[in-house]
C-alpha cells in the first residue's frame, strides 16, 4: 500500500492534461455486454477501477486489449457466463453496471450486491425496481441479485429516490432498455454528463435513445446492438480537483481538455471565493481553462446536488479549499448526506469544521499545518492531498489506494505543476497479535 509525502506551501503553476472520465468509462465498458460487435474506446483512464472492471468483464466472457494511451478494445467472446462474483464486485460499486446489459442480452444475471461503503448508505433498490418494471424476475439471495427475463419489455419507470435520481441506476436501465421490446420511458432520469456519454455510445452501437441530459429519457428497443468507436468525455471531477489545487495554493494553472458546460456550477462556486477562471474554446466542444487564485479566498455557502448542481464528488475538495477562506463557509451534501469522513482528517491539518447532519460549517483559518492523515475514500483522499499542498510543512496521506482508484497519476500531475508529492510504500508497523483491521480498510466507494 502506498502513501504520499507532501512538502506543502508551494504555489502551483503551469499546464496539465485532464484524463478521460472514470464514471463515464465504467458504464460504457459494461455496455459491451449488451452488444454483438467490438467496442473501440479511447480516453479510457489507467485506473485501478478500470482494471477491476476489466477483470470482471473477463470472467463474463469479454476479451479486452488495453493500450498505454487509453485505447481499449472490448469484444464478447462467449455469452455463457452470467455470474459477477462477490470477490470482484466488492472491489468497486460500479460493478453493478454489468447487471442491466448482462440481463438484457443473456436473459439472466447473478450479480453480487456491492456491499459496504465509506460515503454513506448506497442502496440499489431503484436499479432493481427499474429492471422489475421492464419485466425481469428479480430475487436477492445469499448476497446476490438474481435476475431473469426471456426478453425485457419496454415500460414507464420513475427513478426518483429520496436523494434525487441515480446515476448508475439510470445507466443500468438505459443499457437494458435498448434491447427491450417496445418503448421505455425513464422519468426522473439522472442528467449527469456521464449518463449522456453512455447514451451517445449506445446510440453509436445502434440504440434509439432520446432525451439524453434531461430527466425524461425515451428508448425504443432494438433487437441487436453492434460495435462502435467512442471517445470518453474528459473527467470533470479531476478537472475540478485540479482547479481547486490551483486555488488553494495561490496558483495559476491551465487545464485541458475540458468541457466548459460540464463545469458551470463548479466555476460559479469558485468565482464566489474570488478565484478567476478563463476559458478558451477549442474544437468538438472541448476547451482549456485557466484558474487563477485570489490573494485571499472569500468564504461561501454551497450545496452538493445532482447535475447540473455542484457535484458531491467535489464536496470534499471544496471543503479543503474553504478551510483556508477568510470567514465562515457552509457546505451541505444532499446527494450523500453522510459523506463527511474527510472533515475530521482535515481537522488534523488545522481546519476548523463542525458537522451537523448533512451540513458542515467551516471556520476558515489563515494557515494549515502539515500532519499525518488517513484517506477514507476516493474524493476524501483528494481533499487531503489538496490541503497538504497548501499546508506549511510535511503532510503524509496514507491509504492512497483510494486515490489510485479514480485519479490517473495525480502525484505526477501535481509535481508537473511544481508540487512536491512523493509516493512511497507505506510499510506496515508491527502490531499486537490481537489487533484487527477496522472495517473501513475493506470499504469501497466510487
Exposure b/e, 317-331, CB count within 10 A at least 16 = b: bbbbbbbbbeeebeb
Q: Does 118 bind ligand EPU (CB under 6 A)?
A: no
State how far the alpha carbon of 76 is from the alpha carbons of 38, 109, 373, in Å: 8, 16, 43
Region of 416 (left: φ > 0; alpha: ψ -120 to 50; beta: rest) is: alpha
Size of the site for ligand EPU (CB under 6 A): 30
Provide the pairing of β-strand 372-374 with 394-398. Answer: parallel
Name which position in 34, 406, 407, 419 contacts ligand EPU (CB under 6 A): 406
Q: Does 169 bind ligand EPU (CB under 6 A)?
A: yes
Q: Does 121 bind ligand EPU (CB under 6 A)?
A: yes
Residue nearer to ligand EPU on the CB measure, 297 or 378? 378
- Taking the C-alpha atoms of residue 332 and residue 207, their distance in angstroms, rounded to an integer, is 38
Residue nearer to ligand EPU on the CB measure, 91 or 379? 379
Stretch that binds ligand EPU, among 67-75, 156-164, 243-251, 271-279 (CB under 6 A): 156-164
Stretch that binds ligand EPU, among 117-125, 268-276, 277-285, 314-322 (CB under 6 A): 117-125
Task: Write out the binding residues for ligand EPU, residues 15-74 only, by CB under 6 A.
Answer: 23, 26
Burial of 398 (0-12, 13-18, 19+ CB in 10 A): middle
Stretch that binds ligand EPU, among 29-37, 58-66, 120-128, 252-260 (CB under 6 A): 120-128
The residues, ordered by sequence, that sit 6+ positions from 287 with a Cβ below 8 Å of its Cβ are 256, 257, 258, 259, 260, 279, 280, 281
Residue nearer to ligand EPU on the CB measure, 371 or 380? 380
Provide the pairing of β-strand 252-258 with 13-17. Answer: parallel
Stretch that binds ligand EPU, among 11-19, 118-126, 358-366, 407-415 (CB under 6 A): 118-126
Find the shortest distance in angstroms from Cβ 297 to ligand EPU.
24
Sign of CA dihedral 246, 247, 250, 251: positive
Among 328, 404, 367, 350, CA closest to 249: 367
Name which position in 25, 44, 99, 167 contacts ligand EPU (CB under 6 A): 167
Radius of gyration (C-alpha) of the chain in whole angstroms: 22
Find the shortest distance in angstroms from Cβ 380 to ligand EPU.
9
Told to judge if 117 belongs to the known catalytic residues of this protein, a careful annotator would answer yes
Find the shortest distance in angstroms from Cβ 52 to ligand EPU.
11
To the nearest 10 degrees (0 to 180), the angle between helices 193-204 and 167-177 is: 20
Helix (H) or strand (E) holding 215: none
Among 422, 403, 402, CA closest to 412: 422
Q: Does 93 bind ligand EPU (CB under 6 A)?
A: yes
- C-alpha triplet 47, 50, 51: angle, nearest 5°: 90
Stretch that binds ligand EPU, among 162-170, 204-212, 265-273, 355-363 (CB under 6 A): 162-170
Name which position in 15, 55, 67, 125 contacts ligand EPU (CB under 6 A): 125
- Taking the C-alpha atoms of residue 171 and residue 100, their distance in angstroms, rounded to an integer, is 8
Name which position in 218, 238, 411, 445 contacts ligand EPU (CB under 6 A): 445
Stretch that binds ligand EPU, among 63-71, 124-132, 133-141, 423-431 (CB under 6 A): 124-132
x/- mask, ligand EPU, residues 182-211, rule CB under 6 A, reads ------------x-----------------
How crowded is residue 426: how many other Cβ atoms within 10 Å of its Cβ? 17
Residue nearer to ligand EPU on the CB measure, 191 or 374? 191
x/- mask, ligand EPU, residues 365-384, rule CB under 6 A, reads -------------xx-----
Name which position in 34, 89, 94, 133 contacts ligand EPU (CB under 6 A): 94
Cell of 7: 512538502
- Taking the C-alpha atoms of residue 388 and residue 141, their distance in angstroms, rounded to an integer, is 45
Q: Does 313 bind ligand EPU (CB under 6 A)?
A: yes
Q: Does 238 bind ligand EPU (CB under 6 A)?
A: no
- C-alpha triplet 113, 114, 117: angle, nearest 5°: 135
Residue nearer to ligand EPU on the CB measure, 161 or 211? 161
Among 203, 151, 194, 195, CA closest to 173: 195
φ, ψ of residue 173 to 5 degrees: the values are: -70, -40
Selected catalytic residue, list 97, 117, 201, 283: 117
Contacts to ligand EPU by CB under 6 A: 23, 26, 93-94, 119, 121-127, 161-164, 166-169, 194, 312-313, 335-336, 378-379, 406, 445-446
Residues taking part in catalysis: 117
Amino acid at each position: 500500500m502506498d502513501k504520499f509525502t507532501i512538502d506543502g506551501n508551494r504555489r502551483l503553476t503551469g499546464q496539465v492534461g485532464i484524463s478521460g472520465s472514470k464514471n463515464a468509462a465504467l458504464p460504457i465498458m459494461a455496455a459491451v455486454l449488451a452488444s454483438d460487435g467490438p467496442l473501440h474506446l479511447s480516453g479510457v483512464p489507467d485506473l485501478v477501477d478500470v482494471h477491476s472492471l476489466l477483470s470482471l468483464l473477463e470472467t463474463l466472457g469479454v476479451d479486452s486489449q488495453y493500450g498505454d494511451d487509453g485505447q481499449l478494445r472490448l469484444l464478447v467472446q462467449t455469452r455463457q457466463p452470467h455470474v459477477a462474483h462477490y470477490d470482484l464486485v466488492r472491489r468497486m460499486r460500479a460493478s453493478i453496471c454489468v447487471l442491466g446489459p448482462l440481463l438484457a442480452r443473456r436473459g439472466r444475471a447473478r450479480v453480487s450486491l456491492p456491499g459496504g461503503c465509506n460515503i454513506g448508505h448506497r442502496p440499489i433498490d431503484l436499479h432493481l425496481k427499474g429492471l422489475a418494471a421492464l419485466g425481469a424476475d428479480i430475487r436477492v439471495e445469499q448476497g446476490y441479485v438474481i435476475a431473469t427475463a426471456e426478453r425485457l419489455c419496454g415500460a414507464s419507470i420513475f427513478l426518483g429516490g429520496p436523494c434525487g435520481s441515480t446515476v448508475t441506476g439510470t445507466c443500468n436501465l438505459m443499457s437494458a432498455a435498448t434491447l427491450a421490446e417496445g418503448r421505455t420511458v425513464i422519468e426522473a432520469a439522472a442528467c449527469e454528463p456521464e449518463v449522456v456519454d453512455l447514451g451517445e455510445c449506445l446510440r453509436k452501437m445502434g440504440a434509439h435513445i432520446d432525451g439524453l441530459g434531461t430527466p425524461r429519457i425515451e428508448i425504443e428497443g432494438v433487437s441487436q446492438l453492434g460495435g462502435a468507436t467512442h471517445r470518453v468525455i474528459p473527467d470533470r471531477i479531476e478537472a475540478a480537483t485540479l482547479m481547486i489545487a490551483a486555488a488553494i495554493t495561490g496558483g495559476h494553472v491551465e487545464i485541458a481538455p475540458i468541457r466548459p458546460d460540464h463545469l458551470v456550477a463548479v466555476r460559479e462556486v469558485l468565482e464566489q471565493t474570488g478565484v478567476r477562471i478563463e476559458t478558451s474554446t477549442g474544437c468538438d466542444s472541448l476547451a482549456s481553462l485557466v484558474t487563477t487564485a485570489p490573494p485571499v479566498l472569500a468564504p461561501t455557502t454551497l450545496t452538493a446536488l445532482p447535475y447540473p448542481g455542484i457535484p458531491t464528488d467535489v464536496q470534499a475538495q471544496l471543503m479543503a479549499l474553504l478551510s483556508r477562506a477568510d470567514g465562515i463557509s457552509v457546505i451541505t451534501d444532499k446527494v450523500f448526506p453522510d459523506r463527511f469522513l474527510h472533515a475530521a482528517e482535515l481537522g488534523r491539518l488545522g481546519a476548523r469544521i463542525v458537522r451537523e447532519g448533512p451540513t458542515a460549517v467551516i471556520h476558515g483559518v489563515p494557515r494549515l499545518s502539515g500532519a499525518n492523515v488517513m484517506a477514507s475514500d476516493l474524493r476524501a483522499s483528494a481533499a487531503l492531498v489538496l490541503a497538504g499542498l497548501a499546508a506549511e510543512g510535511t503532510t503524509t496521506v496514507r491509504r492512497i489506494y483510494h486515490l489510485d482508484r479514480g485519479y490517473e497519476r495525480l502525484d505526477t500531475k501535481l509535481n508537473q505543476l511544481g508540487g512536491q508529492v512523493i509516493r512511497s510504500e507505506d510499510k506496515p508497523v508491527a502490531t499486537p497479535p490481537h489487533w484487527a483491521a477496522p472495517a473501513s480498510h475493506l470499504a469501497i466507494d466510487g
